[in-house]
């Protein structure tokens, strides 16, 4: 994992001192709310529907055991004993008090954490593949690139007041686990025909009220040109992005209105004016950053573990968990473990302080003290020996973190919705719980197979509903919640925006409609065809008919 | 929603958030702030509203509350008109802390 250098420490500690003084000035009236608001937002502190909310940055979703324990301590000491994993791999606390936040930020700084870049019109916290450094699929670990971007974008003076927020994601596998095409800039580590490693730059993607899939800006960008090229891209956005209308201010609107060819020309023209070496970092610095992400000391193991295989036969529940929640690791004898934060009865992404401590302990024992958060609002232990999987499973079970539903219909992405969010128009958590309850039978879930339901409580789409196989948007009219449905969205490397089916539903009607939809799918699918593939094969009409068939 | 500057139709209440703790509050008939909407002053009297407005602005200036605004209230039920405001009154319909008996709400 990356460890802060002296500059990182100084920046974060300085910010804590600054914010402490700013809170004091706010409380005694030397700062008005209008003056204070942008300062608190720069540290991730929002005023939500019922109370303050603090969003803590988890750069590229990588946490140490020590950091997770500190988050647990903060949850207990300052909040209500739990935290919430967001779709940008961050962690939120729903009930902090303003007077405590300087102490919380100090506690975060003590473990190299903060709330920078979790709000405001800046380059936001960089996200990445939660399997980074563990999957055999990747060309290289994408996190050194993500860390380079974190350092470049943190407090970048030219990009602190962009027309609107700006989101970056980095992957290095053909399988996209970071939804890079729905980002302002998505960065894919690729190799060219000569075998050189560089970047595929995708621009202008985004969700929100205007969902757009990103387009290629550069098919192959040499590695050393990354920062200068992004600098040129951000400059063009800063210059031409709209500031008169916040709903048209994201780069996706600029790219769409300008056209990708003209936008690319503008970026290339700007790039030609730069002196790349003034911006690019040296190979030595890249090597220094990369060294922090070196593989842990994997043991030299056979890929087959007899004891593990035996348990798969004797313990059916364990076998089901292993089947759904494990992924292939690059090192023989190891596995990537997904920890579902989607138990049927609780809110997606929530984790109690006791569970945080348990996961931290388990990571110490079984996964080199590393934890990942995922945009799917789950957690990952990236490096677990197969021989340890059964013991790990038992310990996860003891703290109720053994849900075996990764990728299934109850593994729902869900924003906080009207229960917490000041922007929401309808609740999303109760709907996700109702869907999970309806499909609670594990056998039924497994029979349905891969299914991504994503729920947003308003058109800002924090719940990624545009790219759900079944996407649900919560709205309200005359005091009544209703839910609009999209079908056929895809958050993978085949990214697609779903199509609206038609009139909205009440929650009760929607649950019945989804059940009819799922039953229809099970009746028409060929072999082990996934829902999304059946939808692509058959089109909207029959699925819509099933959904509205009541 | 009515606002501090533009009052809506029918009965009105004045709401805000506590600056320090952030919790939702409503102005009471005693011109104090309560976290319980049941205590809220509801009035259609313009003269009273002017006094409520003055109190809200004064308490913002005193750094006690933040984001003061009037809300429309249903004459028959006494509840806020807007769905969002109903939620501010009731609190979350789900909170993991409540569900699991973790720490109590403040």
pLDDT in tens, A501-549: 999 999 999 999 999 999 999 999 999 899 999 999 999 999 999 999 9
| Predicted pLDDT at B1 | 40
| Predicted pLDDT at A249 | 97
Pick from A49, A82, A418: which is nearest to B97 by CB? A82
Helix (H, G, I), strand (E, B) or coil at A219: strand
Which residue of A30, A31, A49, A343 is the best one to mutate when testing the B interface, meaning the one whose CB has the most B CBs within 10 A?
Answer: A49
With an 8 Å Cβ cutoff, are A47 and B99 in contact?
A: no
Q: How far is CA A447 from CA A355, A439, A510, A522, A523, in A?
A: 29, 11, 21, 8, 12
| Predicted pLDDT at B105 | 60
CA distance B106 to B103: 9
Pick from A47, A82, A480: which is nearest to B96 by CB? A82
> What does R_g of chain B's alpha carbons equal in angstroms?
14
| Predicted pLDDT at A185 | 98
Query: Quick one: tokens of A287?
Result: 């090597």
Calculate ∠ Cα A20-A26-A29, nearest 5°.
140
Please name the residue ranges forming H helices in A347-408: 353-366, 389-398
- Other beta carbons within 10 angstroms of residue A42's beta carbon come to 21
Nearest-Cα distance to chain B for A46, in Å, is 10
| Predicted pLDDT at A280 | 86
pLDDT of residue B5 exceeding 90, the answer is no
| Predicted pLDDT at B2 | 44
Q: How far is CA A52 from CA A82, A101, A548, B99, in A?
A: 15, 10, 40, 20
**Sequence-ordered list of residues with C-beta below 8 angstroms from that of A31, at least 6 positions apart, any chain:** A22, A25, A39
For chain A, give percent helix, strand, coil, nearest 5. Answer: 45, 20, 40
Q: Which residue has the higher pLDDT, A187 or B103?
A: A187
**Sequence-ordered list of residues with C-beta below 8 angstroms from that of A493, at least 6 positions apart, any chain:** A174, A175, A176, A181
User: Is the confidence metric ipTM above 0.95 for this complex?
Assistant: no
Strand partners, A215: A203
CB pairs under 8 A between A and B: 100
CA distance A115 to A101: 11
Closest CA to A335 of A176, A134, A137: A134
Query: Quick one: tokens of A529?
Result: 């065809």
pLDDT grade for B6, boundaries at 50, 70 and 90: low
pLDDT of residue B106 exceeding 60, the answer is no
Residue B22 · residue A51 · CB < 8 Å? yes
| Predicted pLDDT at A367 | 98
Pick from A352, A419, A476: which is nearest to B92 by CB? A419
CA distance A478 to A286: 56
**Sequence-ordered list of residues with C-beta below 8 angstroms from that of A152, at least 6 positions apart, any chain:** A227, A230
List, for chain A, all residue ranges whose pLDDT scores fall below the cut of 50: none
- Other beta carbons within 10 angstroms of residue A283's beta carbon come to 11
């Amino acid at each position: 994992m990356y460890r802060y250098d002296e500059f990182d420490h100084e920046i974060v500690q300085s910010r804590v001192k600054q914010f402490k003084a700013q809170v004091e000035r706010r409380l005694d009236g030397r700062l008005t709310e209008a003056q204070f608001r942008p300062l608190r937002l720069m540290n991730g502190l929002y005023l939500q529907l019922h109370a303050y909310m603090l969003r803590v940055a988890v750069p590229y979703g990588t946490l140490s055991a020590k950091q997770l324990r500190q988050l647990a301590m903060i949850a207990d000491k300052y909040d209500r004993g739990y935290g919430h994993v967001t779709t940008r791999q961050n962690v939120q606390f729903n009930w902090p008090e303003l007077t405590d936040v300087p102490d919380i930020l100090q506690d975060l700084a003590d473990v190299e954490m903060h709330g920078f870049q979790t709000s405001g019109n800046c380059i936001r916290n960089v996200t990445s593949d939660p399997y980074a450094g563990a999957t055999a699929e990747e060309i290289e670990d994408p996190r050194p690139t993500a860390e380079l971007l974190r350092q470049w974008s943190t407090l970048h003076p030219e990009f602190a007041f962009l027309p609107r927020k700006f989101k970056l994601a980095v992957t290095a596998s053909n399988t996209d686990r970071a939804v890079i095409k729905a980002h302002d800039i998505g960065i894919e580590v690729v190799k060219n025909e000569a075998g050189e490693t560089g970047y595929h730059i995708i621009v202008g993607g985004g969700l929100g009220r205007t969902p757009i899939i990103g387009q290629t800006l550069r098919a192959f960008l040499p590695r050393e040109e990354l920062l200068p090229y992004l600098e040129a891209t951000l400059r063009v956005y800063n210059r031409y992005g709209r500031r008169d209308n916040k709903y048209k201010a994201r780069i996706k609107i600029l790219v769409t209105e300008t056209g990708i060819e003209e936008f690319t020309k503008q970026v290339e023209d700007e790039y030609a004016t730069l002196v790349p070496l003034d911006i690019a970092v040296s190979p030595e610095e890249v090597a220094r950053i990369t060294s922090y992400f070196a593989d842990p000391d994997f043991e030299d193991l056979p890929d087959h573990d007899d004891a593990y295989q035996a348990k798969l036969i004797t313990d059916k529940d364990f076998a089901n968990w292993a089947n759904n929640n494990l992924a292939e690791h690059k090192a023989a004898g190891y596995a990537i473990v997904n920890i579902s934060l989607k138990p049927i009865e609780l809110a997606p992404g929530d984790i109690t302080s006791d569970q945080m401590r348990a996961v931290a302990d388990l990571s110490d024992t079984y996964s080199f003290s590393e934890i990942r958060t995922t945009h799917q609002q789950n957690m990952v232990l990236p490096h677990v020996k197969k021989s340890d999987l059964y013991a790990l499973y038992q310990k996860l079970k003891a703290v109720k973190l053994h849900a075996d539903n990764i990728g299934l219909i109850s593994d729902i992405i869900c924003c906080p919705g009207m229960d917490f969010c000041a922007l929401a128009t309808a609740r999303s958590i109760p709907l996700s719980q109702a869907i999970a309850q309806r499909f609670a039978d594990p056998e039924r879930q497994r029979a349905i197979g891969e299914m991504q339901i994503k729920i947003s409580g308003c058109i800002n789409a924090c719940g990624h509903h545009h790219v759900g196989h079944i996407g649900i948007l919560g709205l309200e009219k005359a005091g009544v919640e209703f839910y609009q449905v999209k079908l056929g969205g895809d958050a993978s490397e085949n990214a697609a925006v779903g199509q609206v089916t038609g009139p909205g539903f009440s929650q009760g009607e929607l649950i019945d409609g989804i059940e009819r939809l799922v039953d229809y799918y099970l009746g028409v699918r060929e072999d082990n065809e996934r829902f999304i593939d059946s939808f692509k094969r058959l089109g909207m009409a029959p699925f819509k008919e099933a959904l509205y068939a009541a | 929603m009515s606002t501090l500057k533009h009052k809506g139709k029918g009965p009105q209440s004045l709401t805000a958030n506590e600056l320090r703790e952030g919790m939702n509050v409503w102005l009471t008939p005693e011109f104090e702030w309560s976290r319980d909407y049941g205590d809220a002053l509801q009035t259609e009297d313009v003269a009273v509203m002017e006094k409520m407005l003055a109190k809200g602005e004064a308490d913002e200036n005193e750094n006690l509350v933040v984001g003061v605004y009037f809300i429309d209230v249903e004459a028959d039920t006494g509840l806020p008109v807007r769905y969002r405001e109903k939620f501010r009154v009731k609190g979350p319909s789900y909170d993991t802390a409540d569900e699991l008996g973790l720490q109590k709400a403040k």
